[in-house]
Chain A
């Protein structure tokens, strides 16, 4: 296993368009996390899954954001009607169990024009 992968690595879109990102975690990891990082800031928690169940969502996750992990493996994060303020690096991490180390993907950098 080569670790956590994310696609695409970069996405440029126009304001108002919808975008979808994918995260493939390490295969035996049951927990999957999404974070957002804006320039010069630390990552902010968005949501996490245990297997296919979405257990927690940050208040940062407006109704334009939705995340799924349909079979408890890969996850998608969709942003509808993108705004310029959505421009950020979207990071995915996975881990085994509740106390293991989180392993991060390379991130998807979103630019909304």
Chain B
């Protein structure tokens, strides 16, 4: 069993839909990161969470420490949101433990 699991692996939706990507982890963490990677591109950090909820524009990230679960939501999705979204957890040492990513496609 992977230490960080994301679901779904692939998600295709229509423009305007509300998107939810889930991340569950099994290790103790110091923080959880949500990152975005466009095809052929580098990685952009979206959020770093250790508790509660954060919001940037149309993106919302929540974390439940007790349940070891986090969600990334996108409201009013747009084709430019199409990317791979990666959940990674910091173990308090030096490493990020990465999920496999969720490939999101938003169709116009």
Q: Footprint of B on A, CB under 8 Å? A: 6, 33, 41-45, 48, 55-56, 91, 93, 99-107, 109
Contact = CB atoms under 8 A, between A and B. Distances in A.
Interface string B15-50: 000000000000000110101000011111100100
State which size class the interface on B falls in.
Answer: 20 to 34
A48 B30 contact: no
Contacts of B11: none
B94 A55 contact: yes
Interface of B: 30-31, 33, 35, 40-45, 48, 86, 88, 90, 94-96, 98-101
B42 A104 contact: yes
B42 A105 contact: yes
A100 B30 CA distance: 10
A91 B31 contact: no
